[in-house]
Amino acid sequence: MLDIKFVKENPELVKENIKKKFKEDKLPLVDEVISLYDEKMAALKRGEELRANRNKLSKQIGMLMGKGQREEAEEVKKQVSAQAEELKALEEKEAALSAELKQKMMKIPNIIDPSVPIGKNDEENVEVECFGEKTKVDFEIPYHTDIMAYFNGIDKEAAGRVAGEGFYYLMGDIARLHSAVTAYARDFMIDKGFTYFIPPFMIRSEVVTGVMSFEEMEAMMYKIEGEDLFLIGTSEHSMIGKFINTLTPEKDLPMTMTSYSPCFRKEKGAHGIEERGIYRIHQFEKQEMVVICRPEESMEWFHKMWSYSVELFRSLDIPVRTLECCSGDLADLKVKSYDVEAWSPRLQKYFEVCSCSNLGDAQARRLGIRVKGEDGRKYFAHTLNNTVVAPPRMLIAFLENNLMMENGAYRVKIPAALRPYMGMKEFIG
């Protein structure tokens, strides 16, 4: 969420930013919030005048009563009563204006970084760099759930009977591989100096609206019926929410955290052939990295964070590339975002496995996450997040890139970095 004073002082810049994101339907919001803000400030000013006048009249009543001038005092009391009614109406109007102003402000996109490429959608995202040689094999790689089924590692049919589409059972070595990848990612981030967290898996509505746009909330979140609670779509939600309405000493920054959680998502819409596998599902597990820092450090942390994902995937012999999201592919709160994509030797193309985002002070402003500088100055922190690993997609990339065939049978190579988490096994199968 932007600062309303910034919007009022820079309306054309804010409108130009909206155009860069190809969201022209949001252009009227700029003039609407400025008008609401002016109306709110006029109500505030009038309220202050009435309060000052009430104090003046109260003193006058005391003086008149002291002189025995009761009738005159009663007339002044009538003025006080009338102004009290006007003040009450103004306070109600101010509260309504503030609520409407906040709701509209939360729909205005954040100002994107000047380095972000301009484009309408994800088809215009820009490749930044590739890492590792693309895996080549001399046999046909099966669909990822077929690989898992070969090792007796998945049961979607039973999960469908229990929970419906979008769920699965993992079993045996495939389930162990899932847990191994998550544990390895946890320790990888701890070695980078991040503090490990297991956060709440449900959050209140004020946190939900603080960490994401209304559009994302509607598309992603499951609400608990009869409760002011939502299941988290990623641990970033509860990790950022941890700092709601806090004032952190500047000396404690940056705060670098890595968090594990299950994730729950509606995943609305059709997703083509990948929908039948475990690429898009309603429940999965994820290791996340979250940073809260000073504004001047956020871009430095942004580049560190996506590089950590690249390093981790390369340590597991998975070729990846970094893709910069264009303006039209950025969610409203984001300033800049990179996707890390893994190579699929089966499809002969890359697919998304991580998303690294710098949100500037958007989440901090919504949630009241402030910093107190050594000079006493208070300001909003910057927040960043990045996927370390989300095992469903990670498993697809891992299995395809480490699958081997020997004497007509499949085996999966376990890279050295992962073997301590797999009982020192070198292969599955």
- Set out the domains of the chain in order of their start, with CATH numbers: 4-105 (1.10.287.40), 122-428 (3.30.930.10)
- pLDDT at residue 186, rounded to an integer: 98
* Residue 281 and residue 168 in contact, taking contact as beta carbons nearer than 8 Å: yes
pTM to 2 decimal places: 0.89
- pLDDT at residue 271, rounded to an integer: 43
Q: 196 pairs with which residues across the strands?
A: 258
Task: Give the span between the Cα atoms of 77 and 420, in whole angstroms.
Answer: 82
- Can you list the pairs that 79-86 forms with residues at least 24 positions away whose Cβ atoms lie under 8 Å? 80/54, 83/50, 83/53, 83/54, 83/57, 84/54, 86/50
- pLDDT at residue 275, rounded to an integer: 54
* pLDDT < 50 regions, the chain: 269-273
Q: Exposed, middle or buried: residue 272 (CB in 10 Å: 0-12, 13-18, 19+)?
A: exposed
- pLDDT at residue 60, rounded to an integer: 73
* CA 34 remoteness from chain centre: 27
DSSP 426: S
Task: Give the span between the Cα atoms of 338 and 323, in whole angstroms.
Answer: 6
